Structure 1
Amino acid sequence: MVQIVCTLLLFMVIIFPIGNYVYHVSVGKRTFADPVFDKMDNFVFRIIKIDTSTMTWKKYAMSLLLVNLCLVFIGYLILRIQSIGFLNPNGISGMEESLSFNTIISFMTNTNLQHYAGESGLSYLSQMLVVIMMMFTSAATGFSACIAMIRGLLGKKMGNFYVDFIRIINRFLLPLSMIIGLFLVWQGVPQNLNSNIELTTIEGKIQEIACGPMAALESIKHLGTNGGGFLGANSATPLENPTIITNIIELFSMMILPVSCIFVFGRMAYDKYEESKANNSVYTLSNKNCNKSNKVWMGKEGKTIFVAMSILFVIGLGVCFWSESQGNHAVAQAGITETLGNMEGKEVRFGVAQSALFTTVTTSFTTGAVNNMHDTLTPLGGLVPLMHMMLNVVFGGTGVGLMNMLIYAIIAVFICGLMIGRTPEYLGKKIEGKEMKLAALCIIIHPLLILGFSALAVSIPEGVNGITNPGFHGLSQVLYEFASSAANNGSGFEGLVDNSLFWNMSCGIVMFLARYLPIIIQLGIAGSLMNKIDINESTGTLKTNTLTFSIILVIVVYIFAALTFLPAIALGPVAELLTL
């Protein structure tokens, strides 16, 4: 418990200056590094002749899709021809068609679901030009969409996708990933282009030690909430995650950008209040008790979202840690009273505490990296990562987690507005029928994809053939696979035989639809609200920057989860728990 609390407190110390820096990058304010990064940005703009003018929400969404589709075609081609000798010292063959489709969709959508083992499935060329490259672009895509949505909700112009995309890569992802990569190399993570090392163990067995550009991949894998491992065992291996220090750094890397998005939202909402006050506007945001803008870290609106997400996170973390600490009931029945908890599938150097924390963080921040085997979690311990991916708002991935929570905020003000007999309002904008229809559609896509494709998988032979556990845990494996795909997470219970035509294609379709349909709808909602005039705040206006609204958000999220996922969960992890 002390380990977990100290780790989270240390993160809270470092996130404030980082969140403040990301805010300055997002809104174009000056930073200490601008003399260098301005030249980098301008060079890129000149080379590819970018039009930096403001876009409509439709043009923003179209630009986002076209950039991602172009990267897909390039990446798919590289995966198919990776058997060429260039940067392929281990002689990896070209990837099969359906697996190439699944892999390229996975990395394009920030999911990084892997139906292959990284050390034997990809050449160094593919690791660098496909995997690492898309880890940058997919994270930048989600962040750019989030910033555009925030601008629209606050009544500002949507901005320019290419400008947002390039700025976050040049000014945050690239420099910070280089710093983290160097730190990982210092701690022992390999970074080379050598072929694998073959050696003889003390048992006389032949073992291959993987080499390659691991540190480069590891740094952006966590920082961009990607998650795909250079090795099949991911961050559970001493090569990717050698020490407790690297474990904590990787934890922090996963959390930095999603939480920074909340800083950006809160500060931009506060900026709107300051501007409206200066212009004697009718709109206020109930921020009268805030300090001056340059002393505000997160703003009241940001704090409300942060508190709601933190409540969801702490509840999940507590359940996971408690359940894993209880250990296996079979061990207790065998007369062994003193146990270390459920250590099956966990690294001894991390133990239950850091494993439970990593599990909760990686599925709350939808990264997908693992430092223990999720398939060996206790039923309740495994329910937490599954549920957090089903919720998809517990901080979430880069940008999209906040976007999803803002949709829940719109739903919440609508429900509360019905209760008090007022037209719902959020951030000074009136929420009407069009926005509510789009919000409801956005909310329903996620459970529809998870439950619909899970039902398909257990109904046809091609899906059932991949299930290795015929019991309740087998259903949990199926639910987890599609929840991970729909949440763009990428972790898995790994009990499925998933490298088949059905699983490759079905998961690829889910990843694609779950990524881009909500983003388009969310940008559409922001575009609709952007054109509305600000309205007067009155005594009957629901305050959306209070602790009460944070609790309302938590309740609304859990109610929607119960209404959509409870029957499936009851047949999976809950039924498995009751049989122990």
Structure 2
Amino acid sequence: MFRTVTGFFEIVFTLALVVVAARPLGAYMADLFQNRRTVLTPILGPIERAFYWAAGVKSEDEQEWDAYAISMVLFGGACMLSLYAILRLQAWLPLNPQGFPAVPPDLAFNIAVSFVTNANWQAYGGETTLSHLSQMVGLTANNFLDSGAAIAIAVALVRALTRNESTTIGNFWVDVTRATLYVLLPVAFVLALVFAAFGVPQTLVGSIGAATLEGLKQTIAIGPVASQEAIKLLGDNGGGFFNANSAHPFENPSVWSNILQNWSQLVLPVALVFAFGRMAGDAKQGRALLITMAVIFVMALAVIWKVEAAGNPALTAIGVDPSQGVMEGKDLRFGQAGAALFADATTGTGTGASNAVLESMAPISGLAAMFNLLLGCISPGGVGTGLYSLLLLVLITAFIGALMIGRTPEYLGKKINARDMQFAMFALLLSPALVLVFAGGASVVKIALDSLGAGGPHGLSEIVYAYASSAADNGSAFAGLNANTPWWNVTTGVAMFLGRFAHAIPILAIAGSLAAKKKAMPSAGTLPTDGPLFITFLLAVIVIITLLQYLPALALGPVAEHFLLQQGTLF
């Protein structure tokens, strides 16, 4: 009972801190992207203008949607090629105190795609594979840049919804610069200092020696961990310095650092929703999105926590006390509540970090985490990606709802036409196509099946989860899958690349279409999109669409495993 009360308090305390910080941060971001003066403008304004001068960017010149999209792809491509080169040349570059060799081509490709698409999928052990230069210049830098690009896409879509007969949606280079310079860098700097104060290492030393109680010598890897940890979580990137990720005591030393890590994952996605309401000039619209996200988040959290605290029926049958819950694969420092909140936050956002082993969770807990990915990580979503993915579903819901009651489809005064829906459906169907096609192939190819840690339904869950995580740019995984093989490195890399860029381009096309339309005033024929009826309808559309796409895979994977576990067939 005490653990339940303290766990509940920890969850409520963390989420309250998120909302308290997100509201003013959202107002600050709205001012920033609406070209208003902010508290940091006097300090960072000269640096921002220096960047534009060096890059030859005219901040006052805006772009049409296609130019914006081309800039996004070119920026991502340049970041990916640069990171690939760093990884392949690692052995000959400085700041390599461990003397690590060059990263193999297939793994370097996977890492490069992963860290420019916000996925940060890790098929390797960070402390045994990458040098300090690769971690700092390669991974940490791209954690800032890919998150900045995702925020830029979301801002462009919101800006399009607020404009009236405009041919432009903003300037990609300005948006990504401001997102990085004014939002990600200052907050990450403060977080890094706090993490270091909590005991997270921040040093250029490669390792330290230690002696065990038995007198044996041990080499312990350390490095610039705090700086990577901050942006890893704040930018919803994932990708830990150590292979054990946020379960490692150097990345996550205490309950307080765990609370801060959960806060870091959630604060910017929630702040962006507040910024949306402010930029749209209607706080109720932002509140409707936030309530939708919160319902999904809380339901998934309740399922994970309840199932993990209930114990394993197969172990209960042989006399294990179920009141202790399922602790295998979890850290006693964090308990059931801390592990459940982290699992929900990391799959509800695009973070993909972990402080417990998803492989060890009960089938229904794994189902809840997987379902978050299949929804597109929209509760509350990755930094930027969650907002624009949810707005895509809002447009579809508004279109369907208006047609059902015989009204003109519109959202925020912008009429939604057939062309908009064509782009929306392309973006919506891309993820299931990637997940199901690649998962189907991996289910019959021996070189893919050889990487599984289990057979039967759980093995299928490992496969589906891997591609769902890749397509959603999340990066978490069932740890039983050995993903560092040419098959998995290449196929998950392709899924990550298309899951980011092929998904974002039609969304920018929709932004261009909406910006060009005349903004109409609400009338008696307008479908309200800020009330409980629309929120309920939106939730129903989200769940129904996801189930129609993935029900067979879920039934044959975690659902089948659950019933087998209840029968005592497997552990």
TM-score, reference length from structure 1? 0.93
Q: State yes or no: 1:519 paired with 2:530.
A: no
Instruction: Tell me the equivalent position of 1:245.
Output: 256
- Report the alpha carbon displacement of residue 312 of structure 1 after superposing the two structures with TM: 0.7
* Higher alpha-carbon deviation: 352-361 or 250-259: 250-259
Instruction: Tell me the equivalent position of 1:12.
Output: 19
For 1:134, the aligned partner's letter is N
For 1:21, the aligned partner's letter is Y
- Report the alpha carbon displacement of residue 427 of structure 1 after superposing the two structures with TM: 1.1
Question: Alignment partner of 1:158: what SS?
Answer: coil
- Report the alpha carbon displacement of residue 463 of structure 1 after superposing the two structures with TM: 1.4
- Report the alpha carbon displacement of residue 207 of structure 1 after superposing the two structures with TM: 2.9
- The 8 Å contact of residues 140 and 169 in structure 1, kept in 2 or not, is answered as yes
- Report the alpha carbon displacement of residue 536 of structure 1 after superposing the two structures with TM: 4.3
Q: State yes or no: 1:541 paired with 2:526.
A: yes
Question: Alignment partner of 1:235: what SS?
Answer: helix
Q: State yes or no: 1:43 paired with 2:70.
A: no
Structure 2 counterparts to residues 57-96 of structure 1, below 5 A: 57-84=65-92, 86-96=94-104
1:123 aligns with one of 131, 135, 141:
131
Structure 2 counterparts to residues 19-418 of structure 1, below 5 A: 19-52=26-59, 53-84=61-92, 86-155=94-163, 157-270=168-281, 299-337=283-321, 339-392=323-376, 393-418=378-403
- Report the alpha carbon displacement of residue 548 of structure 1 after superposing the two structures with TM: 1.6
Structure 2 counterparts to residues 502-513 of structure 1, below 5 A: 502-513=487-498
Question: Alignment partner of 1:83: what SS?
Answer: helix
1:2 aligns with one of 9, 23, 45:
9
Once residues 400 and 330 of structure 1 are traced to their aligned partners in structure 2, the CA distance between those partners, rounded to angstroms, is 40
- The 8 Å contact of residues 408 and 526 in structure 2, kept in 1 or not, is answered as no
- Report the alpha carbon displacement of residue 494 of structure 1 after superposing the two structures with TM: 1.5
- The 8 Å contact of residues 324 and 352 in structure 1, kept in 2 or not, is answered as yes
For 1:304, the aligned partner's letter is A
Instruction: Tell me the equivalent position of 1:294.
Output: none
Instruction: Tell me the equivalent position of 2:4.
Output: none
- Report the alpha carbon displacement of residue 456 of structure 1 after superposing the two structures with TM: 0.7
- Report the alpha carbon displacement of residue 195 of structure 1 after superposing the two structures with TM: 2.1
- The 8 Å contact of residues 26 and 264 in structure 1, kept in 2 or not, is answered as no
Instruction: Tell me the equivalent position of 1:567.
Output: 552
Once residues 238 and 217 of structure 1 are traced to their aligned partners in structure 2, the CA distance between those partners, rounded to angstroms, is 15
Could you tell me the percent identity over the aligned residues? 40
Instruction: Tell me the equivalent position of 1:296.
Output: none
Question: Alignment partner of 1:551: what SS?
Answer: helix
Change (3 A) 1:439 1:338: closer
Once residues 485 and 59 of structure 1 are traced to their aligned partners in structure 2, the CA distance between those partners, rounded to angstroms, is 27
For 2:544, the aligned partner's letter is I
Q: 1:88-121: per-residue Cα shift (whole Å, max 9, x none)? A: 1111110000000000000010000011000011
Once residues 226 and 39 of structure 1 are traced to their aligned partners in structure 2, the CA distance between those partners, rounded to angstroms, is 28
- The 8 Å contact of residues 410 and 426 in structure 1, kept in 2 or not, is answered as yes
Question: Alignment partner of 1:416: what SS?
Answer: helix
- Report the alpha carbon displacement of residue 334 of structure 1 after superposing the two structures with TM: 2.3
Q: 1:362-392: per-residue Cα shift (whole Å, max 9, x none)? A: 1101101111111101111111111001001
- Report the alpha carbon displacement of residue 515 of structure 1 after superposing the two structures with TM: 0.3
Unmatched segments (≥5 aa) in structure 2: 1-7, 566-571
- Report the alpha carbon displacement of residue 137 of structure 1 after superposing the two structures with TM: 0.4
Once residues 202 and 228 of structure 1 are traced to their aligned partners in structure 2, the CA distance between those partners, rounded to angstroms, is 32
Change (3 A) 1:438 1:85: closer
Once residues 132 and 219 of structure 2 are traced to their aligned partners in structure 1, the CA distance between those partners, rounded to angstroms, is 16
* Higher alpha-carbon deviation: 382-391 or 47-56: 47-56
Once residues 367 and 235 of structure 2 are traced to their aligned partners in structure 1, the CA distance between those partners, rounded to angstroms, is 25
- The 8 Å contact of residues 19 and 267 in structure 2, kept in 1 or not, is answered as no
Change (3 A) 1:185 1:483: same
Once residues 482 and 150 of structure 2 are traced to their aligned partners in structure 1, the CA distance between those partners, rounded to angstroms, is 30
Once residues 446 and 153 of structure 1 are traced to their aligned partners in structure 2, the CA distance between those partners, rounded to angstroms, is 24
1:426 aligns with one of 411, 426, 431:
411
Once residues 523 and 386 of structure 2 are traced to their aligned partners in structure 1, the CA distance between those partners, rounded to angstroms, is 30
- The 8 Å contact of residues 121 and 239 in structure 2, kept in 1 or not, is answered as yes
- The 8 Å contact of residues 22 and 274 in structure 2, kept in 1 or not, is answered as no
* Higher alpha-carbon deviation: 553-562 or 83-92: 83-92
- The 8 Å contact of residues 330 and 357 in structure 2, kept in 1 or not, is answered as yes
- Report the alpha carbon displacement of residue 18 of structure 1 after superposing the two structures with TM: 1.7
Once residues 25 and 352 of structure 1 are traced to their aligned partners in structure 2, the CA distance between those partners, rounded to angstroms, is 39
- Report the alpha carbon displacement of residue 175 of structure 1 after superposing the two structures with TM: 1.2
- Report the alpha carbon displacement of residue 65 of structure 1 after superposing the two structures with TM: 0.9
Instruction: Tell me the equivalent position of 2:484.
Output: 499
Once residues 173 and 519 of structure 2 are traced to their aligned partners in structure 1, the CA distance between those partners, rounded to angstroms, is 28
Once residues 32 and 237 of structure 1 are traced to their aligned partners in structure 2, the CA distance between those partners, rounded to angstroms, is 37
Once residues 512 and 574 of structure 1 are traced to their aligned partners in structure 2, the CA distance between those partners, rounded to angstroms, is 30
- Report the alpha carbon displacement of residue 399 of structure 1 after superposing the two structures with TM: 0.6
Once residues 217 and 489 of structure 2 are traced to their aligned partners in structure 1, the CA distance between those partners, rounded to angstroms, is 32
| Count of matched residue positions in the alignment of Structure 1 and Structure 2 | 553
* Higher alpha-carbon deviation: 155-164 or 399-408: 155-164
Question: Alignment partner of 1:209: what SS?
Answer: strand
- The 8 Å contact of residues 17 and 263 in structure 2, kept in 1 or not, is answered as no
- Report the alpha carbon displacement of residue 42 of structure 1 after superposing the two structures with TM: 1.2
Instruction: Tell me the equivalent position of 1:279.
Output: none
TM-score, reference length from structure 2? 0.95
Q: Once superposed, what is the RMSD of the aligned Cα atoms?
A: 1.2
Q: Which segments of structure 1 move beyond 4 Å, counting only runs of 4 or more?
A: none
- Report the alpha carbon displacement of residue 154 of structure 1 after superposing the two structures with TM: 2.2
- Report the alpha carbon displacement of residue 468 of structure 1 after superposing the two structures with TM: 2.4
Once residues 398 and 76 of structure 1 are traced to their aligned partners in structure 2, the CA distance between those partners, rounded to angstroms, is 24
- The 8 Å contact of residues 397 and 538 in structure 2, kept in 1 or not, is answered as yes
Change (3 A) 1:206 1:452: farther
- The 8 Å contact of residues 311 and 322 in structure 2, kept in 1 or not, is answered as no
Once residues 25 and 342 of structure 1 are traced to their aligned partners in structure 2, the CA distance between those partners, rounded to angstroms, is 46
- Report the alpha carbon displacement of residue 338 of structure 1 after superposing the two structures with TM: 5.4
- The 8 Å contact of residues 353 and 476 in structure 2, kept in 1 or not, is answered as yes
- Report the alpha carbon displacement of residue 21 of structure 1 after superposing the two structures with TM: 1.5
Q: 1:191-246: per-residue Cα shift (whole Å, max 9, x none)? A: 11112123332245443211110001000000110000000000001100101111
Once residues 11 and 150 of structure 1 are traced to their aligned partners in structure 2, the CA distance between those partners, rounded to angstroms, is 22
- The 8 Å contact of residues 389 and 483 in structure 1, kept in 2 or not, is answered as yes
- Report the alpha carbon displacement of residue 268 of structure 1 after superposing the two structures with TM: 1.1
Question: Alignment partner of 1:339: what SS?
Answer: helix
- The 8 Å contact of residues 85 and 91 in structure 1, kept in 2 or not, is answered as no
Question: Alignment partner of 2:122: what SS?
Answer: coil
Question: Alignment partner of 1:197: what SS?
Answer: strand
Once residues 268 and 547 of structure 1 are traced to their aligned partners in structure 2, the CA distance between those partners, rounded to angstroms, is 22
Q: State yes or no: 1:449 paired with 2:457.
A: no
Once residues 10 and 177 of structure 2 are traced to their aligned partners in structure 1, the CA distance between those partners, rounded to angstroms, is 37
Instruction: Tell me the equivalent position of 1:284.
Output: none
Once residues 335 and 143 of structure 2 are traced to their aligned partners in structure 1, the CA distance between those partners, rounded to angstroms, is 29
Q: 1:456-512: per-residue Cα shift (whole Å, max 9, x none)? A: 101212211211211211100001100110110011102112111110000000000
Once residues 443 and 320 of structure 2 are traced to their aligned partners in structure 1, the CA distance between those partners, rounded to angstroms, is 38
- Report the alpha carbon displacement of residue 3 of structure 1 after superposing the two structures with TM: 2.2
